[in-house]
Amino acid sequence: MKLIDGKALAAKMQAELKVRVEKLKTFGIVPGLIVILVGENPASQIYVRNKERQATAIGMKSSVLRLPEEIEEVELLNLIETLNNDDTWHGILVQLPLPAHISEEKVLLAITPEKDVDGFHPMNMGRLWSGNPLMIPSTPAGIMEMLREYHVELSGKRAVVVGRSNIVGKPMAQLLMMADATVTIAHSRTKNLSELTRQADILVVAIGQDRFIGRNDVKEGAVVIDVGMNRDENGKLHGDVDFEQVKDIASLITPVPGGVGPMTITMLMEQTLRAAERKLK
Ligand code: NDP
């Protein structure tokens, strides 16, 4: 077994991004990411702080707009419209989840696709599925970078993605298909899941179920990507894959923490930078 070190790859990429940021600055463009946070969700506060910190660390401009929980939907939509037209910001991100009185769909639709660094706008999802992506959701984008870095051959391989969310499972499946893998998407209603996952050369698990995938669910020599982030009663982080059981079966495996997680924010920065670089062209 070999470990896929997401932390090390993220650090390497950040150094590369820093160079690209500096280069862009010589043309008078400072790439900027603005994050909108509504309410006081503690997990969201941490995510948002990490995003701002990493953006600043690579020399980008970054700001967090902290808005009160009771903000009206129309006010938020107006604010997004203002930011759409503000050239200082190349990426706009609204931290999810939103309070119940605000429609997530309306908010995602309001962000102009060119600045939608999360890649959740239906236009960006559609472009990805039609094979002409503009913005790609960060988590699957980061996984593709890891597979590239570790020279995992995808063409003609059997990939199984467990989980079909819009932010991980679906875009992941499409990216693997674009790389010529033969892809199966599994979910909570899939019958005989284990039979399916055992056929995978590349297995990506994004279900949010603590250590769900065990020894008997993985083929010898498979590449296993664990997206899950589950906290146990002691606050310890675990993946969707039982690392201890699977590590000696897999040829390559991502740990949790230190695997997929660190790459996600880095890819968000990469997308923002790319959006800013497009201004140059
Ligand atoms: P969602 O809850 O949106 O989706 C979970 C998916 O898993 C659904 O498609 C669901 O099926 C499927 N599923 C749930 N239980 C089972 C099961 N027992 N067997 C098969 N499929 C199952 O989650 P996300 O995609 O947003 O996130 C998944 C995990 O990844 C979470 O732990 C999350 O914290 C983590 N995550 C980590 C990130 C990172 O940067 N490391 C980023 C994003 C997420 P159905 O559709 O039928 O309900």
CATH number where 87 lies: 3.40.50.10860
Report yes or no on 164 lying in a domain.
yes
Q: Give percent of the chain with pLDDT exceeding 70.
A: 100
Tell me: do 175 and 256 sit in the same domain: yes
Tell me: do 87 and 161 sit in the same domain: no
CATH of the domain at 161: 3.40.50.720
Tell me: do 42 and 100 sit in the same domain: yes
165 has binding-site annotation? yes
Distance CA 243, CA 215 (A): 9
Ligand 1 atom nearest to CA at 187: 21
Tell me: do 151 and 241 sit in the same domain: yes
Report yes or no on 14 lying in a domain.
no
Tell me: do 142 and 202 sit in the same domain: yes
Report yes or no on 12 lying in a domain.
no
Last residue of a domain, one of 112, 130, 158: 112
Tell me: do 97 and 181 sit in the same domain: no
Report yes or no on 126 lying in a domain.
no
Ligand 1 midpoint to CA 168 (Å):
8
Residue with tokens 């990490």: 50
Tell me: do 143 and 257 sit in the same domain: yes
Tell me: do 172 and 104 sit in the same domain: no
CB-based burial label for 15 (10 Å; 0-12, 13-18, 19+):
exposed
Query: DSSP label at 217?
Result: G
Report yes or no on 9 lying in a domain.
no
pTM over 0.90: yes
CB 152 within 8 A of CB 181: no
Longest dimension (CA), the chain: 56
Distance CA 225, CA 255 (A): 8
Tell me: do 256 and 151 sit in the same domain: yes
Residue with tokens 């039982």: 242
Distance CA 231, CA 77 (A): 34
Report yes or no on 6 lying in a domain.
no
Tell me: do 144 and 108 sit in the same domain: no
DSSP output for 152-177: ---TT-EEEEE---TTTHHHHHHHHH
- How many domains are there within the chain? 2
Tell me: do 219 and 172 sit in the same domain: yes
CA angle 200, 203, 234 (to 5 degrees): 140
Residue with tokens 């899950």: 228
ipTM of the complex: 0.99
| Domain carrying residue 178 | 138-261
Distance CA 97, CA 38 (A): 9
Report yes or no on 54 lying in a domain.
yes
pLDDT digits (tens, 9 = 90+) for 51-83: 999 999 999 999 999 999 999 999 999 999 999
- Measured by CA distance, the residue closest to atom 35 of ligand 1 is 228
Residue with tokens 């590449």: 223
189 has binding-site annotation? no
Nearest to 117 by CA among 233, 278, 261, 230: 278
Ligand 1 midpoint to CA 111 (Å):
24
Report yes or no on 171 lying in a domain.
yes
Last residue of a domain, one of 112, 147, 167: 112
Dihedral angle, C-alpha 38, 166, 55, 19, nearest 10 °: -160
Ligand 1 atom nearest to CA at 264: 40
Tell me: do 88 and 201 sit in the same domain: no
Last residue of a domain, one of 112, 146, 166: 112
Q: What pLDDT is recorded for position 1?
A: 80
6 has binding-site annotation? no
Q: Which residues of the chain have pLDDT under 70?
A: none
